[in-house]
């Protein structure tokens, strides 16, 4: 009996590791950019396209950057003809599909920059996925109103 339990544990470990690696590599981020804020505004929005070529939905549950004190997941919604930003618990990238973070929709809200940033600077963002893996991306800062 003991031998059987050991074998089960090993099989579980191998499959868990395999799943994590697969899910990390199937999420691809393209067209990432950060919209530069007017002077004095310490909150910036980040946009990108997330593609999931895997067979399992992937959730982005958090984001952080060495250049910012905090990043939240936001979505702009219209309520009573007023645009408001709502904090999201996650962004879901469907299996075999994609999710776009875009102006007036879902976005990363980058807060408390800890270094001065200029047009053309690259912002490093680390996305945390719901399988425990993470994905590091680089997004240029652009001056677009
Ligand atoms: Cu926001």
Domain-wise residue ranges, the chain: 2-142
Which of 87, 29, 35 has its CA nearest to residue 53? 29
- Quote the ligand 1 centre to 6 CA distance (angstroms): 49
Q: 1 CA to middle of ligand 1, Å?
A: 55
Position 18 scores a pLDDT of: 47
pLDDT beneath 70: ranges in the chain? 1-25, 145
Q: Is 56 helix (H, G, I), strand (E, B) or coil?
A: coil
Give residue 145's pLDDT: 58
Q: How far is the CA of 48 from the centre of ligand 1 (A)?
A: 14
Instruction: Please tell me the class of the 2-142 domain.
Output: mainly beta
pLDDT of 5 reads: 54
pLDDT of residue 3: 56
Q: How far out from the chain centre does Cα 18 lie?
A: 22
Q: How far away, in angstroms, is 15 Cα from ligand 1 center?
A: 37
Ligand 1: distance of its center to the CA of 27 in Å? Answer: 23
Predicted pLDDT of residue 48? 98
CB 72 within 8 A of CB 136: no
pTM for this prediction: 0.80
End-to-end CA distance of the chain: 67
Radius of gyration (Cα) for the chain, nearest Å? 18
**Cα(109) to centroid(ligand 1), Å:** 5
Tell me the CA–centroid distance for residue 68 and ligand 1, in Å.
14
The pLDDT value recorded for residue 10 is: 47
Query: What is the residue whose two structure tokens read 């600077």?
Result: 121
- Alpha-carbon span 40 to 134, nearest angstrom: 31
| Distance from C-alpha of 100 to C-alpha of 95, rounded to nearest angstrom | 14
Name the residue among 102, 108, 104 with its Cα closest to residue 125: 108
Q: How far, in Å, from the CA of 44 to the mean position of ligand 1?
A: 8
The predicted pLDDT at position 13 comes to: 46
């Amino acid at each position: 009996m003991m031998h059987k339990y050991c074998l089960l544990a090993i099989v579980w470990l191998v499959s868990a590791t395999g799943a994590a690696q697969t899910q990390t590599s199937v999420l691809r981020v393209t067209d990432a950019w950060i919209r530069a804020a007017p002077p004095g505004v310490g909150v910036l929005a980040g946009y990108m396209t997330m593609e999931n070529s895997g067979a399992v939905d992937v959730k982005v549950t958090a984001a952080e950057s060495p250049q910012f004190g905090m990043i939240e997941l936001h979505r702009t919604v219209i309520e009573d003809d007023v645009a408001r930003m709502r904090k999201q618990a996650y962004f879901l990238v469907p299996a075999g599909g994609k999710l776009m973070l875009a102006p007036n929709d879902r976005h990363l809200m980058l807060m408390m920059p800890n270094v001065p940033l200029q047009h053309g600077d690259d912002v490093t963002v680390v996305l945390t996925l719901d399988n425990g893996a993470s994905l590091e991306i680089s997004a240029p800062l652009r001056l677009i109103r």
